[in-house]
Structure 1
Amino acid sequence: MPLNERSLIGQEVAGYYVENIVGKGGMAVVYLALDPRLSRRVALKILNPVLSVDDRFRQRFILESRTVASIEHPNIIPIYEANADADGVLYIAMRYVDGLDLRRLIYDRGPLPLGQANQIFAQVAAALDAAHAHDLIHRDVKPANILLAGDHVYLTDFGITKHRSSISGLTQTDQFIGTPRYMSPEQINKEHIDGRCDQYALACVVYEALSGQLPFQRENDIALLWAHLAEHPPPLSQLRPELPPQVDAVMTRALAKSPEQRYASCAEFVTALRDAISGQPYEPAGGAPYAMAGQPLVPPPSPSPHSGPHPVRPAPSQGPARRVAVTRPARHSAARRRPGRLPIVAATLVAAAAALALVAFIIVNQQAETWVRYKTSAAAPLTFEYPGNWAVRTHQDLFAVASPHATAFEELFVAGPGADWTAVSEIVAGEPDSASGVYVQVSDTLDASGTSEQMKAKMEALLPGQVDLGRPVPDQAGNRPATRFDGALHDPGTGTRLGFVSYVIEREPKTMLVMYFCARATCDDATQTRIRQSVHVP
């Protein structure tokens, strides 16, 4: 399958004729396509090929997409087919809705009228509860995935769902599933998730639809994730004065940091919201309405795994305060005194230490998941992406190498055929998973049209060790056609071996070699795929 997303227009993919691009994101591109078998237009979503490398994800995607297709609900976008094409790329064909999505509606018109908002929220909640009843979690509820066909609402993008029995929000290739602006704390913490993470995301959507702004707006993803974990958004009634203060209590509960403190279902949440907007006190079964207070939500004794917090009667208020649920403090006898300041200070310090540890954890994980782009140089006249925890060494005008052990591999490659492999051998033996990287060199001796025997001789004149090389395969490296050669470098003295996937790119005045190497039997993994796709030769 071609890597240029627009190159698919006019092509046939898995029996569908692609007509145009209708949307795209970091994980997939959605095309308008024609199904000639039934003479109907469909939305054809093609996932990033990086995801199809993960066998576990590929199997789960197909099985759970088919599970979604079996759910007959008026507010879940109908799925016609989910599978992998001949190249292994995952796709999903679904009903094409010729209309706006909620993101565009908010962008064009600002905060929604209350009546229209209630209708949209009720339909989205019904779709989510139907999915949760089948043990499926959406994980990426956001305005762009809410499609509007007149007064009818479809929730889409169920193709990357997650079964409730799974844990964390990651694929095997360590990619987050979800959008940070709407991501629940338990997703950020990579904890066990259930349908209440979708309720949190829906609450973020509700907040944005009613106010025209996100509940948390920060300059970078680290600050945004921290806000979801530890901060509270401004009350909606302050941003939109026509909303009664009862709305703030409902939103506080749906946006609770702990899933146990949220509503039992999305329908219960939007029903409470509707009643609060209309000024009616909402009383869940077995409890009283929420009260005006300034204290955090308090769960009941021995809650069920899917219950929300314990609602109580209104407590006396001293002036304006955010509406959240509280329990009325029990009366204490005179013999029971308030705790001293020392335990409070100690508890505060412990909480602060835990918060700092969590921030450090997020930053480390974010760094591991962040990719950066190499800037073009005389030695490597191209750009490409590489993991953020790698280092880069550009050796004068000869070559560039990016790796977790960039210095050791720079010394190996600069020595050429007579290189000393001792340092690299120790890395391969002790840290094989980190013995990987990208090597880029330009040369007037390389020939993309050469045979395996010709390329083997030329590579052995440039690279350290002996070269084993497979047959040439026409391929694509980013924006350029390339010839792919899979092979290995090995040192007869130490017995150390580095596998590689290399791409020879014809350019003027010299041909370029882009090689991804690793210490595994095969280097055709998700990292290699992403690096290859990111290559840009000016």
Structure 2
Amino acid sequence: MSARLGGRYELGMVLGAGGMARVYAATDLALGRQVAVKVLDPGLARDPEFIGRFAREARTAAMLPPHAGIVTIFDSGQDAESVYLVMELVSGRTLAQTIDASGRIDPASACRIAIEVCQALSVAHGAGLVHRDIKPANIMITDSGTVKVVDFGIARAQAGDALTRTGAVLGSPAYMSPEQITGGAADARSDLYALGAVLHEMLTGSVPFPGEDQFTVLTRHLNEVPTPPSALVPGIPPELDHVVATLMAKNPNQRPATADQAAQLLAAAAQAFAPAAHRSTVALTAHDPHPTRPTTALPPEPAGHRSAPADRDERPRTGLIAGVVVGAVAVVGIAIWALSSGSTPAPSADSAATRTATTAAAASTAPAQIDIPTTAAAATTATTTSSSPAATTASASPLANVKQALTALQQTVTAQAESGGLGATARRALNAQLQNMRQSLSQAQTQVDQNPQNQTQVVKNLQQQFDGQIKNMRQELTAFVEHNEVTAAAKSAIGSALDGLQQSFG
């Protein structure tokens, strides 16, 4: 690839890389300004589907009215070797990095950040766009204290389009709404659910539903309510427990209808607990991590234009962070933890290594893992100790093999959807079957945990259920091939994964 794109953009250092693209610091030679340039991976730059997706990102960004809380897209282009997107270069750090460094953020500051995210989302939603991947790694805190929402790469118009129809589920498992998990249509309320998960993480240092794998995390999003932040961190105002619970309601109709309503809910909570002198706060000041993981406070917001703080030299160097966080955009059947690396990282985090890989301020080592305060309520999470009966049962249970095989099936569907081997109708049908299987497996595991002596019968019953569901999936695949909804290669790959699922029962 040439170091100069379109005869105009001189590429510099790599700021970040993901499954689809790299982001470079660059100089706009025509205007003499510094920019960030997102360049599609050369291996994908000849694929019409990925080029279309990349072009859609540019069009999506162009639909957004100018707003201080949204990274600006300047240009897009294509030459003989590259497809690229030119955007604002932002100096600061992500909210993910802030949480990693300090453990958690004080309630007043967390409210302020969430309100500013709501303001940016209000603009996007007003333009008919849903972000669909709100998470700490996609929220920037600039050196001047402005909160910016970044990476509209998987956003879609609420009316939908050919590349992001219902059934093409996108997002990050740790923050994903139930309707996204089940392949339903995402709307503004889906972004607010994710914001509720982000607020929980800011307040506690922990995602609402940690788990050892994506299956566990997604199942918890579907079936559990989040532990109130005040139960994990004493001293958090109960008003914020209510905000988190409301934003993360399973039923979208029980969440705020708009980002503006969510901002009002947050503002009311802040007014209820914050001293008047600290109700308006702004730029994050970095604190050295402390063994007790203190909260990070934000000083009061200055009037007028926000500029870089005078004591910047005393702050840790954060580097330049590309306005758009690079991530592997994957179209999936049940979730998008997409398999660019072939691995399945534990979602407790989308933190540490994942955040370092997907943000442009990539450090040589991952940030230290956040310590989650140990309380009685923390025991309700899926992260059990080795002495826990549930953990012991799960590790010894033959259901572990079934769970692994079901995850492999989900990953195969994900890969085939991403490669274009599945049409929208086929994706929806397979999503429905996978959802039923996940629920059946979860119920079976609960029965075994409660009554271990019945394990043999429970596994036998589950096998009978799965045999019927697998048979239905095979029949559907055959019909979909006849209707050009599934390619022969996709049918073969998914069929092999179904064989593995059947064999997992022994």
What TM-score bracket applies, with the shorter chain setting the length?
0.5 to 0.7
Partner of 1:80: 74
Partner secondary structure for residue 98 of structure 1: strand
2:219 aligned partner, one-letter code: W
Matched, 1:434 2:458: no
Q: 2:18 aligns with which of 19, 25, 34?
A: 25
- Decide whether the 8 Å contact of 1:200 with 1:255 is kept in 2: yes
Deviation, structure 1 residue 136 = 0.8
Tell me how far apart the structure 2 counterparts of residues 168 and 252 of structure 1 sit (CA, whole Å). 34
Corresponding residue for 1:218? Answer: 211
Query: CA separation of 1:158/1:85 partners in 2, compared to 1, >3 Å: closer, same or farther?
Result: farther
- Provide the secondary structure at the position in 2 that maps to 1:256: coil
Match of 1:12 among 4, 24, 31: 4
Contact 2:60 2:152 in 1 (8 A): no
CA RMSD of aligned residues (A): 3.7
User: Structure 1 residues 28, 226: closer, same or farther in 2, change over 3 A?
Assistant: farther
Q: Shift of residue 169 of structure 1?
A: 8.7
Q: CA deviation at 1:270?
A: 3.3
Equivalence for 1:166: 160
- Given residue 165 of structure 1, which amino acid in structure 2 is its aligned partner? A
Question: Quick one: which amino acid aligns to residue 369 of structure 1?
Answer: T
SS in 1 for 2:61: helix
Q: Does structure 2 retain, via aligned residues, the 8 Å contact 1:167–1:190?
A: no
Shift of the alpha carbon at 1:280? 6.6
Q: Which amino acid aligns with 2:413?
A: A
CA contact (8 A) 2:37 2:87 kept: yes
* Preserved contact between residue 45 and residue 92 of structure 1 (Cα < 8 Å): yes
- Distance in 1, matches of 2:410 and 2:91, equals 39
Q: Name the CA distance, whole Å, in 2 between partners of 1:90 and 1:52.
A: 6
Contact 1:103 1:144 in 2 (8 A): yes
Who is 2:500 aligned against?
none
Rounded to whole Å, the distance in 2 between the matches of 1:164 and 1:64 is: 14
2:413 maps to which residue?
Answer: 368
8 Å contact 2:53–2:163 — kept in the other structure? Answer: no
Q: Which amino acid aligns with 1:86?
A: A
- Tell me which residue corresponds to 2:460: none
**Structure 1 residues without counterparts, runs of 5 or longer:** 2-7, 282-320, 322-357, 372-427, 439-538
- Residue 234 of structure 1 and its aligned partner are, at CA, apart by 1.2
Against the structure 1 CA distance between its residues 183 and 360, is the aligned structure 2 distance closer, same or farther, given a 3 Å change threshold? farther
Q: CA deviation at 1:220?
A: 0.9
CA contact (8 A) 2:4 2:10 kept: yes
The residue that corresponds to 1:148 in the other structure is: 141
The residue number in structure 1 matching 2:431 is none
- Name 1:240's counterpart in structure 2: 233
* 1:434 alignment partner AA: A
Q: CA deviation at 1:429?
A: 10
CA distance in 2, matches of 1:430, 1:262: 39
* Structure 1 pair 189–435 and aligned structure 2 pair: CA distance change class (3 A): closer
Q: What is the rounded CA distance, in whole Å, between the counterparts of 1:368 and 1:177 in structure 2? A: 14
Taking the TM superposition and a 5 Å limit, the aligned residue runs for 1:298-337 are: none
CA displacement 1:56-105 (0-9 Å, x = unmatched): 66446435533523511111111101343434x54221110111111111
- Opposite residue 411 of structure 2, the aligned amino acid is Q
1:37-116 matches, within 5 Å, as: 37-48=30-41, 55=48, 58-59=51-52, 61-63=54-56, 65-70=58-63, 71-87=65-81, 89-116=82-109
Larger Rg: 1
TM-fit CA distance, 1:161: 1.6
Using the TM superposition, give the Cα deviation of residue 29 of structure 1 relative to its aligned residue in structure 2, in angstroms: 2.1
State the distance in 2 between where 1:77 and 1:97 align: 8
Higher strand share: 1
Show the 5 A alignment for 1:88-487.
Answer: 89-149=82-142, 150-166=144-160, 177-279=170-272, 364-369=409-414, 433-435=487-489
- 2:17 maps to a residue whose letter is K
Give the C-alpha shift of residue 52 in structure 1.
5.3
Larger RCO, structure (CA 8 Å, separation 6 or more): 2
CA contact (8 A) 1:65 1:160 kept: no
